[in-house]
């Protein structure tokens, strides 16, 4: 079988050249399309459920939210573990799945299970899924530079209600988290003595403010042959200044006493102020407002960052003088990582070619192997794109490690072909071109079985890596995959393309090696 393959490849020179060009082109295309990151994603395959219950102690949250959610989510199929965490006013439940489970299938199963438990949770508590991101999803940090006269509260409002949603619309972005500044609030400071005097419970004040913050519809009115839509406008702050909004809240009626309305202003003081915060964003010694762009699971970080930066450029013209400056960009780390490995591959290739010239003492033979080496590397990228192996420091290192073995295969086959041609030409008979092709075929077929055995042994030695589990598998499997891809690709090139190149470049073994 090997002789038949070699015979076909050597004789069909034009077809193999066209095939080589096609492989190089597709390999280059695949290298551009393979997702690139600095390090492999070693995070677990998990879905996170979040629930907020404002003002409640961790004990209450644990008993009434975290525990019911954890028990219900244990019934999710293919789940490996369920872990819950309770904090002040907040519940966090993490469902971990087997590594081979599709993330979006897992999220849909969790949503289905949540529908069975939501009714047993306290009123107003609605559990939700965290964004479909991973621990390495934070790819871009930015800060906002305000124009003169804009304070941190106003800047944070711009971030929360405009910039955040604009960037979340970018393809590949799972979430934009706001950081820094002050979240503006309308704060109602209740006087307990006045509440006691008017015999009004605090809950009634809260309900009154909630009930007043709503628009209502009142159908239509016909007059003068025309129909008018009637509605009651009650949203707090809608189309009003800050002072008008405060006055609107002050005028909200809490109850009546002997026909006299008791308003918010009678029992409380309304003002604007910052929400309670547990942290701040500091930039060069001053407070700032910014955001964190989180990438969706499985996206190409470099492409997502490019789209985010393009969106930022188009946004700045609509922000009234606010400038957006990036302070962390994952693409810089990615470019540095890829550049370092690319230089290492280039240096390794140059040194390898120099060593081949020194030991083979034949320029043409060195050129043949120098041609096949990048072809095998590009074919590795085809396999990476097809099987979904991302490019990162581990996977690219696998290719770098394999270069020595890749060159060895070419040297063994090419040197045997050269020696056989030299012996054949030394016989004295001129021989025909067809006989020369037979010599090339037979000499290649003589060593290829041994080469296949050697490559197979190397690949088999990596089998234990493929059977690792958890973080170990996610960390080391890219290296094992790419080294295997590189060895198999170099073997294919050595069998299919190298003998054809020997036919073209090794015109005569009588030509001096130099």
Q: Which residue has the higher pLDDT, 508 or 125?
A: 125
Distance in angstroms (rounded) separating the CA atoms of residues 447 and 27: 28
pLDDT classification of 167: cutoffs 50, 70, 90: very high
Distance in angstroms (rounded) separating the CA atoms of residues 118 and 47: 17
CB within 8 A of 456, min separation 6: which ones?
none
Give pLDDT, residue 16. 86
Instruction: Give the range among 79-83, 86-90, 201-205, 228-232 with minimum mean pLDDT.
Output: 228-232
With a cut of 50, say whether residue 153 has pLDDT above it: yes
DSSP assignments along 345-372, one per residue: HHHHHHHHHHHHHHHH--HHHHHHHHHH
With a cut of 60, say whether residue 43 has pLDDT above it: yes
What percent of the chain stands above pLDDT 90?
Answer: 27
Give pLDDT, residue 428. 57
Give pLDDT, residue 511. 47
Give pLDDT, residue 374. 85
Give pLDDT, residue 481. 92
CA angle 28, 36, 369 (to 5 degrees): 40
Distance in angstroms (rounded) separating the CA atoms of residues 134 and 371: 40
Distance in angstroms (rounded) separating the CA atoms of residues 201 and 207: 10
Do residues 355 and 343 lie in contact, with contact meaning Cβ atoms separated by under 8 Å?
Answer: no
Do residues 250 and 270 lie in contact, with contact meaning Cβ atoms separated by under 8 Å?
Answer: yes
Distance in angstroms (rounded) separating the CA atoms of residues 338 and 376: 19
Q: Read off the pLDDT of residues 50-80 as tens digits, 9 standing for 90 and up.
A: 999 888 899 999 999 999 999 999 989 988 8
Which alpha helices (H) appear in 388-462, and where do they start and end? 393-425, 433-460
CATH 2.60.40.420 fits 44-133, yes or no: no
Domain ranges of the chain: 2-33+361-505, 44-133, 187-274
Distance in angstroms (rounded) separating the CA atoms of residues 185 and 248: 15
Same topology for domains 2-33+361-505 and 44-133, yes or no? no
CATH number of the 2-33+361-505 domain? 1.20.1640.10
CATH number of the 187-274 domain? 3.30.2090.10
Q: Read off the pLDDT of residues 407-457 as tens digits, 9 standing for 90 and up.
A: 888 888 888 888 888 777 776 555 677 788 888 888 888 888 888 898 888
SS3 268: strand
Q: Which residue has the higher pLDDT, 171 or 512?
A: 171
The tokens describing 410, both together, are: 């070419």
Do residues 71 and 170 lie in contact, with contact meaning Cβ atoms separated by under 8 Å?
Answer: no
Report CA 139 to chain centroid distance, whole Å.
8
Q: Read off the pLDDT of residues 212-221 as tens digits, 9 standing for 90 and up.
A: 888 887 788 8
The tokens describing 212, both together, are: 């007043």
Instruction: Give the range among 165-169, 351-355, 411-415 with minimum mean pLDDT.
Output: 351-355
Distance in angstroms (rounded) separating the CA atoms of residues 306 and 411: 43
The tokens describing 38, both together, are: 């600095």
DSSP state of 263: E
With a cut of 50, say whether residue 117 has pLDDT above it: yes
Give pLDDT, residue 262. 92
pLDDT classification of 168: cutoffs 50, 70, 90: very high
Give pLDDT, residue 379. 92
Mean pLDDT computed over every residue of the chain:
86
Distance in angstroms (rounded) separating the CA atoms of residues 377 and 372: 9
SS3 content of the chain, % helix, strand, coil (to 5): 55, 20, 25
Residue 192 neighbours by CB distance under 10 Å: 9
Q: What is the helix (H) or strand (E) element at residue 480, kind and residue range? A: helix 470-496
Distance in angstroms (rounded) separating the CA atoms of residues 414 and 5: 17
Strand duo 79-87 + 138-145: pairing: unpaired
Give pLDDT, residue 210. 87
């Amino acid at each position: 079988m090997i002789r038949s393959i070699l015979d076909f490849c050597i004789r069909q020179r034009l077809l193999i050249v066209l095939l080589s060009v096609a492989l190089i082109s597709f390999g280059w295309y695949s290298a551009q399309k393979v997702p690139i990151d600095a390090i492999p994603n070693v995070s677990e395959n998990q879905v996170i459920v979040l629930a907020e219950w404002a003002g409640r102690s961790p004990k209450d949250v644990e008993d009434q939210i975290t525990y019911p959610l954890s028990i219900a989510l244990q019934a999710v199929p293919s789940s490996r573990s369920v872990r819950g965490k309770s904090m002040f006013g907040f519940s966090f439940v993490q469902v971990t799945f087997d590594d081979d489970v599709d993330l979006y299938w897992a999220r849909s199963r969790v949503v289905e299970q949540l529908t069975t438990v939501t009714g047993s949770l306290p009123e107003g508590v609605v559990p939700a899924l965290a964004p479909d991101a991973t621990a390495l999803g934070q790819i871009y940090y930015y800060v906002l530079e305000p124009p003169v006269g804009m304070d941190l509260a106003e800047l944070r409002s711009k971030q929360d209600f405009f910039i955040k949603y604009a960037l979340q619309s970018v393809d590949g972005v799972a979430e934009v988290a706001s950081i820094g500044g002050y979240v503006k609030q309308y704060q109602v400071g209740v006087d307990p003595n006045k509440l006691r005097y008017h015999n009004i419970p605090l809950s009634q004040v809260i309900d009154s403010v909630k009930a007043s913050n709503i628009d209502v519809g009142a159908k239509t009115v016909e007059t003068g042959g025309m129909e008018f839509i009637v509605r009651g406008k009650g949203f707090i702050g809608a189309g009003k200044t800050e002072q008008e909004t405060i006055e609107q809240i002050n005028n909200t009626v809490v109850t009546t006493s002997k026909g006299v309305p008791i308003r918010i202003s009678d029992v409380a003081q309304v003002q604007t102020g910052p929400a309670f915060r547990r942290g701040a964003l500091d930039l060069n010694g001053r407070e700032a407002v910014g955001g964190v762009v989180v990438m969706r699971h499985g996206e190409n970080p470099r492409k997502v960052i490019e789209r985010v930066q393009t969106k930022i450029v188009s946004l700045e013209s609509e922000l009234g003088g606010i400038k957006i400056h990036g302070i962390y960009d994952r693409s810089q780390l990615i470019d540095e990582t890829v550049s370092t490995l690319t230089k290492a591959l280039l240096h390794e290739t140059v040194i390898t070619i120099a060593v081949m010239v020194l030991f083979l003492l034949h320029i043409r033979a060195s050129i043949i192997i120098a041609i096949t080496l990048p072809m095998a590397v590009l074919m590795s990228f085809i396999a990476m794109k097809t099987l979904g192996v991302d490019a990162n420091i581990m996977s690219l290192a696998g290719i770098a490690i394999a270069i020595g073995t890749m060159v060895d295969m070419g040297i063994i086959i090419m040197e045997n072909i050269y020696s056989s041609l030299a012996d054949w030409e030394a016989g004295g008979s001129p021989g025909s071109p067809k006989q020369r092709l037979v010599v090339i075929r037979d000499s290649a077929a003589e060593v290829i079985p041994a080469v296949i055995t050697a490559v197979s042994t190397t690949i088999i030695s990596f089998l234990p890596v493929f059977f690792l589990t958890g973080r170990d598998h996610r960390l080391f499997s890219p290296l094992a995959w790419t080294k295997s891809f590189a060895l198999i690709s170099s073997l294919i090139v050595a069998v299919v393309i190298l003998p054809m190149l020997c036919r073209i470049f090794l015109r005569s073994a009588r030509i001096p090696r130099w």
